[in-house]
Structure 1
Amino acid sequence: MKNRLTVVIVAYNSENYLEECLESLYRQTAVPDLKVVVVDNASADRSIFPVLQARFPDLGVLLNSENLGFATACNQGINCFPASSYLLLNPDCVVLNDAVGKCLKYLESRPEIGIVGCRVQNPDGSLQLACRRSIPRPSIAFYRLTGLSRLFSRSPRFGSYNYTFLDDRQPHPVDAVSGSFLMFRSEVAEAIGLLDQTFFLYGEDLDFCYRARQAGWIAYYYPEAAVTHHKRKSSSRDPRVNNYHFYNAMKIFYRKHYAASAGSLKERAVFLGIDCLYSLALLRNRLFGRSDVGSQG
């Protein structure tokens, strides 16, 4: 028998945040037939899991012997616990005010919607831009690289990538939501498949939403539900590793969705640009000691 909702949390050295995430999830979620599973990608310290299983007896735990990547681990959780809907939730998120129940109700009430994302915010309450995105295009990349998207964030043209021209307190359709909180109905996965395991870290959420959109499903940003996200606390602690996967995901996405129609010359130019961005990110990390990856969007 299917669960109504399976929540999949992929953990990797997330012991400082995982218990708070689970506590908020169980406390703030009153959904019948709910299953929560944590898939651990070979964390260095696993001593917390017996504690968590004692505190949350219904919690499912899958322990991988190596780090298989975010997409593969998500798919493991989905395959082990079938449900009518699924939620991918980062372990460094804190669920607020029945966010899961609100999103599930919204998803189930709108049959044309295949994917729902909530308002993902920083600990200070400000919006994390990545929770609502459009599909990357060359023009969008240009606006972001030149700073036009920040200078003219209220412009429908220049602010299109993160929908900064729209009120972030109002629901609206989007091309993609963030994998930190990504809810989808099982029919979407049946139509397009699960997450693409070619993506090790980053990019799999954008790819999944893009494929769903191509199959006719609508993704929605639903800010009446919210989580606090301690950004980048659930990935590798080495910014060099995170930066590599972040920019490599760009190449994978481009090669998968654009390369065939763009031609080899354009592909080389795009990859050269990505390599330059990667090098600049590494230099910024080294000079200024910044551990951020990519951009805020």
Structure 2
Amino acid sequence: MTAPIDLSFCVVNTNQRELLLRGLDAIAREREALGDAVATEVILLDNASQDGSADAAAAHPTVDELIRLERREGVSANVNAVVARSRAPLCLLLNEDAELQPGATRALLDALDADPRAGAAAAALLRPEGWQQPSAWRFPSVWTALAGALFLHRLTTVQSKGAATRRVDWAQSCTMLVRREAVEEAGWWDPDFFVYSDEVDVQKRMAQHGWHTLYVPSARSVHHEQLSTDSVPERRIVELSRNRDKYLRKHHGAGVAWLVRWLTAFPYAVRTVAALVLPGHDPRRYATHVRATLRPGRGEGIREAAEAFNRRLDAGG
């Protein structure tokens, strides 16, 4: 008989071999620290990487199961696939660019153990330079968009504050422990969200079923975010904007989504003008946000990039 598993480390990777290996080393240290008190497994899904990531993961001693995809899929589909393979009631979701800091797993486990209606517990996210980045917010709405238009979002919308564990509306899933029962009740990740707003949507549905999310500042994880360092990452901006709009239409209706577009575009327009004279700011990036926010149905995003990748595979390229 197979021994029961208490916790599954669930990792999704796309072409980030070096960061992935750092993250796997951190998982290995966390497993060692937990010891025999917590039975764990590590499941890694490689999203059709072409940089040797899958082979490197297969050779890493902490990986128990490797899922190799031949075609590139979206984040929601990947998360559903890796969580479905888990044998544990708790799954620690990790991006390939997340590096757990010592004791983070234990802190997340303790937070969920102390709060039986918490469906998820998220770590505080640190930049590689050491400073903490915002990682938990109120659910998107007209009011949060208005706060952003008035440049009050850091005061009223950001919830990743303080040194104590607290309830939040939603948190970034880069390093997030989820309770399988809550995810199943909410209905898993929605594949219509290829990437971005996927974790907002699932946490919103969890909340509708009586679950909530915890922000756990004693659990810390370095978020390298290597993929967001382009000067004008247009595909990411397009994907971010279209899925923010999709979330609002899904949960609040087309009228609210339309109003939020304009409220969200306004501060980006102000930043575009300011960036023309302020050193170190790129007006093109802000202008791209304005266009993508007002016309979320236009432009090519990450979904289209993945589809083009798959077509090249089909053609033998």
Q: TM-score range by the shorter chain?
A: 0.7 to 0.9
1:160 to 117, 136, 156: 156
Structure-to-structure mapping, 1:36-51, within 5 angstroms: 36-45=42-51, 47-51=52-56
Change (3 A) 1:220 1:28: same
CA distance in 2: counterparts of 1:43 and 1:277, whole angstroms: 37
- Residue identity in the other structure for 2:49: S
Count of aligned positions: 277
Shift of 1:241: 1.5
Bigger Rg, which one:
2
CA 1:71/1:270 → structure 2, altered by over 3 Å: closer, same or farther? same
Amino acid at match of 1:16: E
Alignment of 1:263-282 (within 5 A): 264-271=254-261
Cα distance in 1, alignment partners of residues 183 and 230 from structure 2: 28
- 1:135 aligns with 139
CA distance in 2, matches of 1:205, 1:235: 22
Match of 1:73? 78
Against the structure 1 CA distance between its residues 248 and 6, is the aligned structure 2 distance closer, same or farther, given a 3 Å change threshold? same
Distance change (3 Å), C-alpha of 1:237 and 1:61: farther
Q: Distance in 2 between matches of 1:202 and 1:6?
A: 23
Q: CA deviation at 1:281?
A: 9.7
Corresponding residue of 1:7: 9
Out of 169, 175, 179, which is 1:185 matched to?
A: 179
Q: Secondary structure of the residue that 1:250 maps to in structure 2? A: helix
TM-score between both structures, scaled by the size of structure 2: 0.77
Task: Give CA deviations for 1:259-296 in whole Å, capped at 9, x if unaligned.
Answer: 0xxxx555444446667889999998x956769x97xx
Q: C-alpha separation between the residues in 2 aligned to 1:99 and 1:269?
A: 39
Deviation at 1:232, TM superposition (A): 4.7
The question of whether the paired residues in 2 share the 8 Å contact of 1:87 and 1:182 is answered with yes
Query: What is the alpha-carbon distance in structure 1 between the residues aligned to residue 285 and residue 132 of structure 2?
Result: 20
Distance 2:149 2:226 in 1: 22
Structure 1 residue identity aligned to 2:19 = Y
2-side partners of 1:139 and 1:266: how far apart?
10
| The 10-residue stretch of structure 1 (47-56 or 182-191) with the greater mean CA deviation from structure 2 | 47-56
Contact 1:14 1:234 in 2 (8 A): no
2: CA distance, partners of 1:38 / 1:196? 20
Distance in structure 1 (CA, Å) of the matches to 2:30 and 2:252 = 41
The 3 A distance-change label for structure 1 pair 43 and 288 is farther
After TM superposition, list the pairs within 5 Å mapping 1:142-157 onto structure 2. Answer: 142-150=146-154
Q: Secondary structure at the match of 2:132?
A: coil
SS in 2 for 1:196: coil
Whether the aligned pair in 2 keeps the contact of 1:119 and 1:225 (CA below 8 Å) is yes
1:205 aligns with 2:199: yes
Deviation at 1:108, TM superposition (A): 2.1
TM-score (norm 1): 0.82
Q: Match for 2:57 among 31, 52, 57? A: 52
RMSD: 3.1
* Counterpart residue identity of residue 140, structure 1: T
User: How far, CA to CA, are the matches of 1:36 and 1:237 in structure 2?
Assistant: 34
> What is the CA distance between 1:58 and its match in structure 2?
4.0
Give the Cα separation in 2 of the matches to 1:234 and 1:101.
Answer: 29
Q: Which runs of 5+ in 1 are unaligned?
A: 151-158
Q: What are the superposed Cα offsets for residues 134-179 of structure 1, whole Å, 9 maximum, x if unpaired?
A: 11121211111231335xxxxxxxx221126x42x22111111111
1:196 aligns with 2:190: yes
Q: Tell me: CA distance 1:14–1:173, structure 2 relative to 1, closer, same or farther (3 Å).
A: same
Q: Which has the higher contact order (CA 8 A, sep 6+)?
A: 1
Shift in CA distance, 71/41, structure 1 to aligned 2, threshold 3 Å: same
* Per-residue CA distance 1:74-114 (angstroms, 9 max, x = gap): 10001122311111111111111121122113212321222
Counterpart of 1:99, as a letter, is A
